[in-house]
Amino acid sequence: MKVEVLAPAADDAYERHLARHEGALFYQSPRYRDFLGALLGCRAHYLAAVKDGEIVGSLPLQYLDTPEGRVYNSLPYYGSNGGVLADAPEARAALAAEYNALARAPGTLSATIVGNPLSAPHPAEIVRDVTDYRIGQLTALPMGAEDPWSALMAAVDPSARRNVRKAMGEGITVEADPSQTDVLRRMHHENITAVGGAPKSERFFALYPRHFRAGSDYELWVARREGVVVAALLAFYWGRTAEYFTPATDAGHRSSQAMPLIVMTAMADAARRGCRWWNWGGTWQSQAGVHRFKRKWAAVDRRYEYLTALNDPSILERDPAALLALAPGFFVVPFHALTGAGPVHAGESR
C-alpha cells in the first residue's frame, strides 16, 4: 500500500471510492474541491491510499499559505466535514501517518481535521493539540416511501406540523427556482448581519451556480407570498445525503412560517431522489435555540470533533479577528482556546 496525492485524472476512481462509503458527504466530492479552490484561493492536497491500483482510503485536505505559515484544513469553509474514509485499518493508519507528517512540518502553522457525523471516529493516531466539538444533526428520510411528505409529517414534532400548515393556510407556495440567487444573497446578508454573524461573501453567490448543476447538484428552493419571494433555501445533494446549506427569510415575513414549508418540501423531494439523510450541519453546544429548531424536524444528534495541531503555541495569544483575517475561510484554532477570548464564533460553522 502507498499513499499518494490525488491527481485530477483519478477523479473517477476517487468518486467510486467515495460511493462505497455511506458516510461520504458532498464536501469530499471533486466538485466541492474545485469550488473551494476558486472561492478561497486555496490549494488541494487530497491524499489517497492505493492498494493494487485501487483507492482504498482518502483524506481530503486544502491548504492556504499565509505570511506566518501554511494552514491545512480537512476541510475549510464554515465547518465543511472532511477526515479519513478507509476500507481497512491499514489504510486509515497510513493516511494518518502522512497527515501527521504534514501537520508537524516546519512550515505548517496549524492543521485541523473536521469530523464527519456519518463516518467512523478519527484514527487515534491523528495528532492534535486542541480538540473542539460540534453536534451534528441529521434527519433520516423515508426514501422509498410512496408518500414521503406524509411520512415526514408524521415523524416531525407537532409544532413543525403546525408551522407547515400555517404557511399553507396563508397561501405560501414553494418551488425550485435557481434564478433567485440574488434574492437569497440579499436575505442571507440581512439575516446574518442582524445577529452579528459573518455572512457568506458575494463571491460565494457568484461562484456556486458556475460549479454546481441546478436540479442535480443543488436546488434553490423559494417560498412566495402573492408572487413575492419571502424565504429561500440552498440545498446541495450528493450520494445519499441532502445538505441544508444556506437558509434565508425576509424579516417582514417570518410569522408566515415560509421556511418550515420550504424545509418540508425539500426533505420530501430529497427522499424521492433516494437520499437517506437530511444533514442540518454542525451546531455549537452553546446554540440551544438552533439545536431545538433542528431537533423538532426529527433530527438525531451525532457529536463529532475538530482536531487541531498547532506548531506555534503563541497563536493562542492572538485576537480572534486577527486569525480570521490571517486565513479567510479556514479554521486556525478554536476561539475558546485563545487566551482571554470571548464567545466569538464568526466563520466557524455554516
For 94-153, the DSSP string reads HHHHHHHHHHTSTTEEEEEEE--TTSPPPPTTS--SEEEEEEEEEEE--TT-S-HHHHHH
Rounded to an integer, the average pLDDT of 161-185 is 98
Helix runs in 144-257, H state only = 148-155, 158-169, 181-194, 202-211
The residue-averaged pLDDT of 41-60 equals: 97
Exposure string for 282-314, b = 16+ CB within 10 A, e = fewer: bbbeebeebbebbbbbbbeebebbbbbbbbeee
Mean pLDDT of 316-333: 92
Cis bond before residue 184 (omega within 30° of 0)? no
Q: Note whether residue 294 is domain-resident.
A: no
Note the residue count of the chain: 350
Q: Residue 348 pLDDT more than 60? A: no
The pLDDT > 90 percentage for the chain reads 86
Asked if residue 309 is part of any domain, the answer here is: yes
Is residue 297 in some structural domain? no
- The yes-or-no verdict on residue 19 having pLDDT over 80 is yes
Q: Look up residue 192 and give its three cell numbers.
A: 446574518
For residue 342, pLDDT over 70 is answered with no
Average pLDDT score over residue span 152-172: 97
Q: Does residue 117 sit in the same domain as residue 214?
A: no
Could you give the number of structural domains in the chain? 2
Average pLDDT of the residues in 96-111: 97
Is pLDDT at 313 greater than 90 in this prediction? Answer: no
In a domain, 346, yes or no: no
Sorting pLDDT into bands at 50, 70 and 90, what band is 340?
low
pLDDT of 190 above 70: yes
Q: Which DSSP letter does residue 286 get?
A: T
pLDDT digits (tens, 9 = 90+) for 194-241: 988 889 999 999 999 999 999 999 999 999 999 999 999 999 999 999
Check which CATH number belongs to the domain holding 8 and give it. Answer: 3.40.630.30
* Residue 16, domain member (yes or no): yes
Q: How far, in Å, CA of 218 to CA of 208, rounded? A: 9
Q: How far apart are CA 266 and CA 212, in angstroms?
A: 18
Dist. CA 80–CA 26, nearest whole Å: 9
Co-location of 13 and 127 in the same domain: yes
Q: How large is the average pLDDT for residues 99-112?
A: 97
Residues 6+ apart with CB under 8 A from 154: none
Q: What angle do CA 80, 330, 72 make, to 5 degrees?
A: 90
C-alpha cell at position 264: 418540508
Q: Please identify which residue in the block is written with the cell numbers 478507509.
A: 86
| Position 274 pLDDT exceeds 80 | yes
How high is the mean pLDDT of the chain? 94
In angstroms, what CA-CA distances link 126 with 94, 121, 196, 315, 330? Answer: 11, 11, 34, 21, 19
For residue 68, give the nearest of 106, 115, 14 by alpha carbon.
106
Same domain, 264 and 329: no
Residue 343 clears pLDDT 80, i.e. is over it? no
pLDDT at 349 over 60: no
Residue 111 placed within a domain: yes
pLDDT at 329: 96
pLDDT, tens digit, for every residue of 284-293? 878 888 899 9
Digit-coded pLDDT (tens) for 64-78: 999 999 999 999 999
Structural domain including 87 reads: 2-134+303-337
Residue 227 zone, left/alpha/beta (φ > 0; ψ -120 to 50; rest): left
Asked whether residue 103 falls in the same domain as residue 205, the answer is: no
Residues 99 and 222 in one domain: no
Q: Are residues 108 and 32 located together in one domain of the fold? A: yes
Q: How confident is the model at residue 154 (pLDDT cuts 50, 70, 90)?
A: very high
- Residue 341 scores a pLDDT above 70: no
CA distance 221 to 218: 9
If asked whether residues 164 and 112 sit together in one domain, one would say: no
User: What nine digits make up the cell of 161?
Assistant: 406540523
Q: Is the same domain home to 22 and 105?
A: yes
| 107 in the same domain as 210 | no
Do 35 and 107 lie in a common domain? yes
* Residues 177 and 254 grouped into a single domain: yes
- Domain membership of residue 14 (yes or no) is yes
Asked if 79 and 108 sit in the same domain, the reply is: yes
pTM of the model: 0.93
Residue 218 resides in a domain:
yes
Task: Give the separation between CA 312 and CA 347, rounded to whole angstroms.
Answer: 22
